[in-house]
């Protein structure tokens, strides 16, 4: 086996070239011994290209094979696309986890639901703290983002320092949590930074980031003008936004109710960590009948059109406790994640059909992104002064825009995709190898490969339907009675085409050669071929087919 030369490498297994599923690895090799460090382990949400699955996550197979060399998993912040996969993938990793108090509080609830709470060792690390994980010398650096206690990470190694930004922005009035710690970033730059691995989400957006304080003012002004029930939907993990909504409601004399499990979990985690201390406990949906419409504001999960979310069920009038209609207002204090547009628009359309007024950031100042815009990115590069730039967290158009911006301010950009193993030091900074990558779908309690047989069959059924044929044969292999055809999602039972297919299938299995009739597998395969032939002529589709053969 070839000995790995000593040095430092970076490997994204998720989140580079895509939105969500952030899963990054660093490899430090000393005296030929490899040690791996993971940063973040998040989920992604299904888009129009993956209708057969709702929740996606990166395939951990590469690092699972090296779990003995994995010294830890560090979480930068408590967003789903950075920690949502931990409870599902930790059994493959089996390493200690490091997180700030708020991220740890959120993660504990997820691990509890997965019955892993007593197995996973969580080290709680205060924000802005320096600590060690294996041979890696790490330092949390506080940054502003749309969640409490977001941290960048300075990674000091014998081969140089890397600044891994996580998600961040510049905001002079973040309202919850500190400003992005530019003084510490400047000190890191003075120390010398080999590479900055940096968020690219808003690399196409010109200008400075807008402040959360502007959103709070915008929400307060807007809600004061509204009558009837008011509902606001936002990302459940955005502590500052939930606080802004609650304070805007208070200013208009409205009590605040939260609707949806993820928001209830957020409130528990936030109050546990000292947030919302000047807000009374929020009402629950069981209190809905006790408050006058004009005195109520609901914060509701489901800003991305998730089909089982509270807002989706309210929009389709299937929620057990909450209904909205004529004279009520829903405010979207969020953006649409790319790929979710169709789902979000469907929910908004259902709300509008019910007489609800839907307002978005196009109508009022009710949302700002938690990600750095071009001016923010430019300023951070000028402060940190890295030799190399490694854009992550974005699709290819975001990464290339980020790379061009980095080059403008004097850094050498290196563009990667998931699976590219980048040598950082010593020697030339370049891709030296590739690692297998993939996506897993969460299907109930199971993790299934997107390229596997189960989801491939589901895709085929989704677009082409499925046809099942059943027939009985005697000991000689000759058909008894009439074959039965079922085609859910393709044909109605009394459709003339069903009758035609049944007849053609019956004729086709009558002429299957005798030598195939004695072996069930061969007979079944021949019958499947006959069924496909009967289907293909007029339907012009290639549905999934199956044959049930019964010997009597």
DSSP 508-527: HHHTS-HHHHSSHHHHHHHH
| Same-domain pairing of 18 and 157 | yes
Contact 117, 132 (CB under 8 A): no
| Same-domain pairing of 202 and 217 | no
CA–CA separation, 199 and 504 (whole Å): 59
| Same-domain pairing of 443 and 407 | yes
Q: Which of 425, 449, 473 is the last residue of a domain?
A: 449
CA–CA separation, 88 and 73 (whole Å): 14
Query: Is there a domain that residue 341 lies in?
Result: yes
Query: Is there a domain that residue 455 lies in?
Result: no
Query: Is there a domain that residue 510 lies in?
Result: yes
Q: What Cα–Cα distance (Å) separates residue 435 from each residue in 44, 128, 169, 289?
A: 20, 32, 31, 56
Phi and psi torsions of 494, nearest 5°: -100, 15
Domain that holds residue 323: 212-359
- Partners of 55 in beta bridges: 45, 442
Closest to 462 in 3D by CA, of 49, 93, 77: 49
| Same-domain pairing of 354 and 410 | no
Q: Which of 397, 421, 449 is the last residue of a domain?
A: 449
pLDDT tens digit at each of 552 positions of the chain? 356 789 999 999 999 998 889 999 999 999 989 999 999 999 987 654 555 456 889 999 999 999 999 999 999 999 999 999 999 999 999 999 999 999 999 999 999 988 999 999 999 999 999 999 999 999 999 999 989 999 999 999 999 999 999 999 999 999 888 999 999 999 999 999 999 999 999 999 999 999 999 999 999 999 999 999 999 999 888 888 999 999 999 999 999 999 988 899 889 999 999 999 999 999 988 887 788 989 999 999 999 888 889 999 999 999 998 999 999 999 999 988 777 788 899 999 999 999 999 999 999 999 999 999 999 999 999 999 999 999 999 999 999 999 999 999 999 999 999 999 999 999 999 999 999 998 888 766 677 665 655 555 565 556 667 788 888 888 777 778 888 887 766 777 677 777 777 788 888 778 888 778 878 888 888 888 878 877 766 566 677 788 888 887
CA–CA separation, 120 and 131 (whole Å): 19
List the CATH number of the domain containing 180: 3.60.15.10
Residue 318: count other Cβ atoms within 10 Å of its Cβ: 9
Predicted TM-score of the model (pTM): 0.83
- Partners of 97 in beta bridges: 73, 122
| Same-domain pairing of 402 and 338 | no
| Same-domain pairing of 201 and 168 | yes
- Full DSSP string of 218-232: HHHHHHTT--S-EEE
| Same-domain pairing of 16 and 143 | yes
Total domains present in the chain: 3
Query: Is there a domain that residue 90 lies in?
Result: yes
* Residue 68 neighbours by CB under 8 Å, 6+ apart: none
In the chain, what is the straight-line distance between the N-terminal and C-terminal CA atoms, in Å? 59
Radius of gyration for the alpha carbons in the chain, expressed in angstroms and rounded: 28
Query: Is there a domain that residue 456 lies in?
Result: no
| Same-domain pairing of 11 and 114 | yes
Please give the order of strands across the beta sheet that includes 446-449: 44-45, 55-58, 439-443, 446-449
Query: Is there a domain that residue 407 lies in?
Result: yes
Q: Which of 339, 359, 379 is the last residue of a domain?
A: 359
| Same-domain pairing of 108 and 174 | yes
- Partners of 417 in beta bridges: none
List the CATH number of the domain containing 505: 3.10.20.580
Query: Is there a domain that residue 364 lies in?
Result: no
Query: Is there a domain that residue 28 lies in?
Result: yes
**Burial label, 171 (beta-carbon count in 10 A; 0-12, 13-18, 19+):** buried
| Same-domain pairing of 405 and 529 | no
Contact 73, 96 (CB under 8 A): yes
| Same-domain pairing of 350 and 477 | no
| Same-domain pairing of 187 and 226 | no
């Amino acid at each position: 086996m070839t000995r790995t030369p000593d040095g430092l490498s970076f490997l994204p297994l998720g989140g580079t070239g895509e939105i969500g599923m952030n899963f990054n690895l660093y490899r430090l090799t000393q005296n030929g011994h490899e040690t791996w460090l993971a940063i973040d382990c998040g989920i992604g949400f299904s888009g129009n290209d993956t209708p057969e699955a709702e929740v996606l996550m990166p395939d951990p197979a590469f690092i699972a094979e090296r779990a003995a060399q994995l010294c830890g998993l560090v979480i930068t912040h408590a967003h789903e696309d950075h920690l949502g996969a931990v409870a599902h993938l930790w059994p493959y990793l089996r390493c200690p986890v490091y997180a700030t108090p708020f991220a740890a509080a959120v993660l504990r609830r997820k691990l509890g639901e997965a019955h892993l709470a007593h197995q996973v060792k969580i080290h709680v690390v205060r924000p802005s703290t320096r600590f060690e994980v294996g041979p890696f010398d790490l330092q949390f650096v506080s940054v502003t983002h749309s969640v409490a206690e977001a941290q960048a990470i300075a990674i000091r190694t014998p081969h140089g320092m890397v600044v891994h930004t996580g998600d961040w922005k510049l905001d002079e009035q973040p309202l919850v949590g500190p400003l992005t710690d530019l003084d510490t970033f400047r000190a890191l730059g003075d120390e010398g930074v080999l590479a900055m691995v940096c968020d690219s989400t808003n690399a196409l957006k010109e200008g400075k980031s807008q402040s959360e304080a502007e959103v709070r003012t915008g929400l307060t002004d807007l809600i004061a003008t509204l009558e009837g029930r008011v509902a606001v939907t936002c990302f459940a993990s955005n502590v500052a936004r939930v606080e802004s909504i609650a304070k805007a409601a208070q200013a208009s004399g409205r009590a605040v109710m939260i609707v949806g499990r993820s928001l209830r979990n957020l409130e528990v985690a936030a109050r546990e960590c000292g947030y919302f201390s000047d807000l009374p406990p929020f009402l629950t949906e069981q209190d809905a009948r006790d408050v006058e419409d004009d005195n109520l504001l609901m914060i509701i999960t489901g800003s991305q059109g998730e089909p089982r979310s509270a807002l989706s069920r309210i929009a389709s009038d299937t929620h057990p406790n909450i209904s909205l209609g004529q004279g009520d207002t829903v405010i979207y204090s969020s953006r649409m994640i790319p790929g979710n547009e169709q789902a979000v628009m469907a929910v908004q359309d259902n709300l509008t059909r019910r007489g609800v007024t839907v307002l978005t950031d196009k109508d009022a100042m009710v949302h700002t992104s938690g990600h750095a815009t071009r001016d923010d990115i430019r300023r951070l590069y000028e402060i940190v002064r890295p030799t190399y730039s490694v854009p992550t967290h974005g699709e290819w158009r975001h990464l290339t825009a980020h790379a061009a911006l980095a080059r403008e301010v004097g850094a050498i950009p290196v563009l990667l995709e998931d699976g590219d193993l980048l040598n950082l030091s010593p020697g030339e900074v370049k891709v030296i190898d590739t690692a297998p990558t993939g996506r897993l779908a969460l299907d109930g309690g199971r993790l299934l490969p997107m390229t596997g047989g189960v989801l491939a069959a589901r895709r085929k059924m989704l677009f082409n339907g499925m046809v099942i044929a059943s027939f009985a044969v005697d000991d000689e292999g000759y058909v008894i009675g009439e074959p039965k055809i079922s085609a859910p999602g393709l044909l109605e039972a009394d459709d003339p085409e069903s009758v035609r297919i049944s007849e053609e299938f019956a004729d086709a299995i009558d002429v299957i050669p005798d030598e195939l009739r004695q072996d069930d597998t061969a007979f079944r395969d021949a019958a499947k071929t006959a069924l496909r032939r009967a289907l293909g002529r007029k339907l012009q589709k290639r549905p999934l087919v199956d044959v049930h053969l019964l010997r009597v």
